[in-house]
Chain A
Amino acid sequence: METLYVICVGVMTFCGVFLCLRGRTFSVVVGLTMLSYAVNLFLFSSGRLSLDGAAILGMAEEYADPLPQALTLTAIVIGFAMIAFVVILAIRARADLGNDFVDGRDPPDSDKLVKPNRGKA
């Protein structure tokens, strides 16, 4: 089961990272969301995987580790706040710059060098 679990985490990380490397803001937001799922699962698994062991006293014989769960719970909520912030930033960037490129300008994805003094352009 552990092998299966880490394969899932690995696949999600792969998808998240690949999307984060795209040139458009929405892809990056989707990638970040995916990556935060992977990170949450990763963090959570530091308490090891146990079945039928919810950390509610008196409900199980052997309890799962409650600490990573508590940390992951806040991580999920904070992750949501972060995604929300990034997506609103993307909207604001679209409104102010008139495009949705991560680099804020055309062309985002070519191998041509982007000049550093972008403010003057």
Chain B
Amino acid sequence: MSLFWITAILLIGVLVPVVTERFGRTVNTLFTMLAPAIALAYIISLVPAVLAGEVIVEYLEWIPSMGLTLSMHLDGLALMFALLILGIGLLIILYARYYLSAKEASGRFFAYLILFMTAMLSIVLSNNVLQMWMAWEVTSISSFLLISFWSSKSESRKGARMALTVTGAGGLALLAGLLLIADIVGSYELSVILASGDLITQHALYPVALILVLLGAFTKSAQFPFHFWLPHAMAAPTPVSAYLHSATMVKAGIFLLARMYPVLSGTEMWFLIVSMTGLITLLLGAYVALFKHDLKGLLAYSTVSHLGLITLLLGLDTKLAAVAALFHIMNHAVFKASLFMAAGIIDHESGTRDMRKLNGLWRFMPYTATLAMVAAASMAGVPLFNGFLSKEMFLAETIHSSALGYVSWIIPVLATLAGIFAVAYSMRFIHDVFFNGDPIDLPKTPHEPPRYMKVPIEILVALCLLVGIFPNIMVGDLLAAAASSVLGTEELPYYSLAIWHGFNLPLLMSAIAISGGLIVYAYRNHLYRFQAQFREADEKLIFEGVVQTVVGWATKAHDGLSNGSLQRYVSALLIFTIIITAVPLINLATETTFRPDQAVSGIEITAAIILCLSAIATVIYHRKRMVALITLSVVGLIVSVAFARFSAPDLALTQLAVEVVTVILLMLALFFLPQKTPAESSPSRVVRDVGIAAAIGGIVATINYAFITQPVDSIAEFFLANSKTGGGGTNAVNVILVDFRGLDTLGEILVLGVAALGIFKLLARVRLAIPSANENGLAWSQDRHPPILAMISQSLLPLALLVSFYIFLRGHNMPGGGFIAGLITSVALIQQYIAHGVDWVKPRIKVDYQTLIALGVLIATLTGIGSWFFGRPFMTTWFDYFDIPFIGEIELASALVFDLGVYLTVVGATLLILANLGKLTSVHRPIAEE
């Protein structure tokens, strides 16, 4: 088996609860537990190897050329987290079976939960930072789904959205940070990154990368000032809170800190930021927790506080602190999960979580109360429980720390203060709920929960005790393995996991914390009264306010830029183009040497003058549309003459044929569009547009001049040398089209075909008003199809087809080919449409143009595929010479067949466009101008 199977099995496990939901809650639960149980069993089978110091690494090549590899690894740290995630996850599933009512969609719930579990496990097992980040994002999304499970409640939706926004934004920062680190190191592999600590910390971009990664970690693990989302996430069903806020989700941030510890820590900046953030969060969480009347609210702030404690430990500059942090991660997960579950039972069986109503529950549920008391004692750091051990280590490390220089003494003092509050709120959790008088207005009469609902808590509480009393036997090896992977060394600093270390300072601090906590709790009413003077800020309102403000800015910016006017967008785009091209152009002139101009003859000057005059005339007369069209066609003709002049006969032929088709098309279009354009541009608008157009024209001309006066360094030699020998034709342009760059041409005829089909659809069922007279009010001629034109066109058709056939055949060796021949055929056929009308042509040309396009593309593709049958790559040309009687030696090339495909597509597309537009003139009878 491989580590990849863990995620694979769990991913399959996501579907299991959905499928088995119909068999009832118990069966559903048991099947849901199957996938995590298999994964856990597999992980446990690897425990001996990992504890022996082995790091299991596995790769799955994905796109190796881009350095993208899926890779997994299992070291001590990953093992510790994997055990917590899967172990507590299984208990949560069992617990949720009893927590959720029969009416609730337990299949959906379990599916989200397993998805979340998969993502969380993928974070800890990833050996690739991108892969880890992906999983990180999936935890944000799946936790959103879990928190908003009761989506009918407004607070669920708001809490989930807040959690997603905060952790999602942090995720983006994390991505940036990880990319920076990967860029510094040159690899996405975590194993490579972990080995390059010095390279990263000494890099100039280290502060940026550190802050980005810390932003990701702090948002996820609810560190100040991002802690506010966690209490609001308490709107989730309690099993979700128990899972997300003990062993997973918030611990992902801590995991990231621990994972990156060998690489990012060790600098002044790390110690300062991480320890201060942790310290503030620790204090703030502990203080606020005392004032929460909601049972889960208290636990939420206590979680914030404990996360701060772990963060603070990771930010202290001693190696032992990191060990203590890992130990506390385990302990906190265990006691916090059991406390949440106990809170869930109380809520479930009494109908409220308000501690002002919950009193004296001991009489109703003594067994649950005992379990909760043990867990709460562990949370407070009372001896004999696991929380005491790690807290003791924590206090010891705060004393040894010198992270803050001369004021480092403030850390142990504040830590003790936080300890006092921790004892006070733990005390409140026990005393206020289980003793302290009688319950007030409970919606239900409380009683003990179902037997198996208590099992998960029993297991966890047993762990609290066992770890608390026999720490070394229970978790000694696991902790050592995890610590060595965080510290990046086999040699761990000396520490002893024991309850009794003799009378020392940490013990005194613990004693102060416990006695102080009891005193604070006893006089809590004074504190409540003091605290009541402050107006409590509602984070939800502040958060919504910030979100609304940002959305407001975004809307304003959007509306300012995008007002629905395409004209405006075009000008904005052009102005932007001018700005970004201007700067390089200014430098261009000084850097280059120009080749002298070639001599100019009178013909060229004349042609240029005609071209420029007609182009400008098109602009001047653009409101008289017919005139503009005529001057435009003059420009097109001169362009084709220019092609002919500058040694491009193929282009000249193509341009000529396209010119004819375009002008016919535009004239047809003009029939359906208004004949004149009213003058509507304001003078300032015209001046602005002339400015923009002149700038763009100037830039284009400058760039063009800059490169055509440079010496040529072209790959043309290759084509000229291989055109005859490799492609079998002497017309290099055509050989490039059908052979060297045949795939491009295939793409182009496809585009042509798609454009024609798009036009076909656009013209379907179009409702057009056809003018009854021209722009001057003259009615159209009644003689729709003059006989002379009809006769000449008809007799010209065979000749035109013959010419196009000739052009097609000779294309490989002389100017011509499929494109040009296709256009000539089209013009010849359009001529028939013009002369005789659609009604006359339709019964005579029984070809369906869509079929023609499809056939053309098919022939071209099949010709390309044909070379596969001869073991050659796609589109390899074959050619040979044959001696045919009466004709002589002739060359036959497979490129000719490909060119036939091009020909058919061009004919089909052109005629599909024009014939369909033309057809509209006959379908509708002339209607009055609108």
A111 contacts across to B, CB distance below 8 A: 682, 684-685
B645 contacts across to A, CB distance below 8 A: 51
CB pair A115–B662 under 8 Å, yes or no, is: no
Instruction: Knowing A18-B693, A56-B730 are in contact, say whether A49-B646 is a contact too (CB < 8 A).
Output: yes
Contact with A along B516-558 (1 / 0, CB 8 A): 0000000000000000000000000000000000000000000
> Which residues of B from 695 to 741 have beta carbons under 8 Å from A?
696-698, 700-702, 704-705, 707-709, 712, 714-716, 719-720, 723-724, 730-734, 736-737, 741
CB pair B629–A30 under 8 Å, yes or no, is: yes
CB pair A26–B714 under 8 Å, yes or no, is: no
- Distance in Å from the Cβ of A16 to the closest Cβ of chain B? 8
A4 contacts across to B, CB distance below 8 A: 600, 604-605, 608
- Distance in Å from the Cβ of B642 to the closest Cβ of chain A? 7
Q: List 15 A-B contacts (CB under 8 A).
A: A4-B600, A6-B702, A14-B693, A23-B567, A34-B618, A44-B646, A51-B646, A55-B732, A66-B719, A66-B732, A66-B733, A72-B648, A100-B674, A114-B563, A116-B559
CB pair B562–A116 under 8 Å, yes or no, is: yes
Q: A66-B719, A94-B672, A94-B768 are in contact. List 5 more A-B contacts (CB 8 A).
A: A18-B619, A30-B618, A51-B645, A55-B731, A76-B654
Interface band, chain B = 35 or more
CB pair A116–B564 under 8 Å, yes or no, is: yes
Interface residues of A (CB under 8 A from B): 1-27, 29-30, 33-34, 37-38, 40-42, 44-60, 63-67, 69-70, 72-74, 76-85, 87-92, 94-96, 98, 100, 102-103, 107-111, 113-118
B12 contacts across to A, CB distance below 8 A: none
A53 contacts across to B, CB distance below 8 A: 647
Instruction: Knowing A13-B700, A29-B669, A70-B741 are in contact, say whether A77-B648 is a contact too (CB < 8 A).
Output: no
CB pair B700–A77 under 8 Å, yes or no, is: no
Q: Which 10 interchain pairs have the tightest Cβ spacing?
A: A10-B701, A14-B697, A66-B732, A18-B693, A17-B693, A81-B755, A64-B647, A57-B730, A70-B736, A55-B732
Best-buried of A9, A40, A76, A117 by chain B (most CB within 10 Å):
A76
Alpha-carbon distance A95/B917, docked complex (angstroms)? 13
Instruction: Knowing A77-B658, A116-B562 are in contact, say whether A13-B677 is a contact too (CB < 8 A).
Output: no
CB pair B732–A57 under 8 Å, yes or no, is: yes
B758 within 8 A of A: yes
CB pair B819–A10 under 8 Å, yes or no, is: no
CB pair A108–B565 under 8 Å, yes or no, is: yes
Which one of B568, B642, B689, B917 lies within 8 Å of A88 (CB-CB)? B917
CB pair A46–B762 under 8 Å, yes or no, is: no
Best-buried of B604, B654, B913 by chain A (most CB within 10 Å):
B654
CB pair A33–B574 under 8 Å, yes or no, is: no
B639 within 8 A of A: yes
CB pair B731–A118 under 8 Å, yes or no, is: no
CB pair A109–B685 under 8 Å, yes or no, is: yes
Alpha-carbon distance A74/B741, docked complex (angstroms)? 11
Alpha-carbon distance A54/B745, docked complex (angstroms)? 21
CB pair A107–B680 under 8 Å, yes or no, is: yes
Alpha-carbon distance A37/B716, docked complex (angstroms)? 24
B930 within 8 A of A: yes
User: Main SS of chain A's interface residues?
Assistant: helix
A81 contacts across to B, CB distance below 8 A: 751-752, 755-756, 909
CB pair A73–B819 under 8 Å, yes or no, is: yes
Best-buried of B564, B698, B702 by chain A (most CB within 10 Å):
B564
A24 contacts across to B, CB distance below 8 A: 674, 677
- Distance in Å from the Cβ of B656 to the closest Cβ of chain A? 10
Instruction: Knowing A11-B612, A26-B625, A49-B598 are in contact, say whether A55-B647 is a contact too (CB < 8 A).
Output: yes
Which one of B616, B680, B696, B819 lies within 8 Å of A77 (CB-CB)? B819
B744 within 8 A of A: yes
Which one of A2, A66, A85 lies within 8 Å of B709 (CB-CB)? A2
Alpha-carbon distance A76/B656, docked complex (angstroms)? 10
Alpha-carbon distance A96/B764, docked complex (angstroms)? 12
CB pair B651–A72 under 8 Å, yes or no, is: yes
Instruction: Knowing A66-B719, A77-B658 are in contact, say whether A9-B930 is a contact too (CB < 8 A).
Output: no
Alpha-carbon distance A1/B734, docked complex (angstroms)? 27
Instruction: Knowing A10-B697, A91-B669 are in contact, say whether A44-B651 is a contact too (CB < 8 A).
Output: yes
CB pair B737–A73 under 8 Å, yes or no, is: yes
CB pair B665–A12 under 8 Å, yes or no, is: no
CB pair B619–A76 under 8 Å, yes or no, is: no
A3 contacts across to B, CB distance below 8 A: 597, 705
CB pair A108–B680 under 8 Å, yes or no, is: yes
Alpha-carbon distance A64/B642, docked complex (angstroms)? 14
B570 contacts across to A, CB distance below 8 A: 20-21
Alpha-carbon distance A27/B670, docked complex (angstroms)? 11
Alpha-carbon distance A13/B567, docked complex (angstroms)? 18
CB pair B673–A95 under 8 Å, yes or no, is: no
B891 within 8 A of A: no
- Distance in Å from the Cβ of A101 to the closest Cβ of chain B? 9
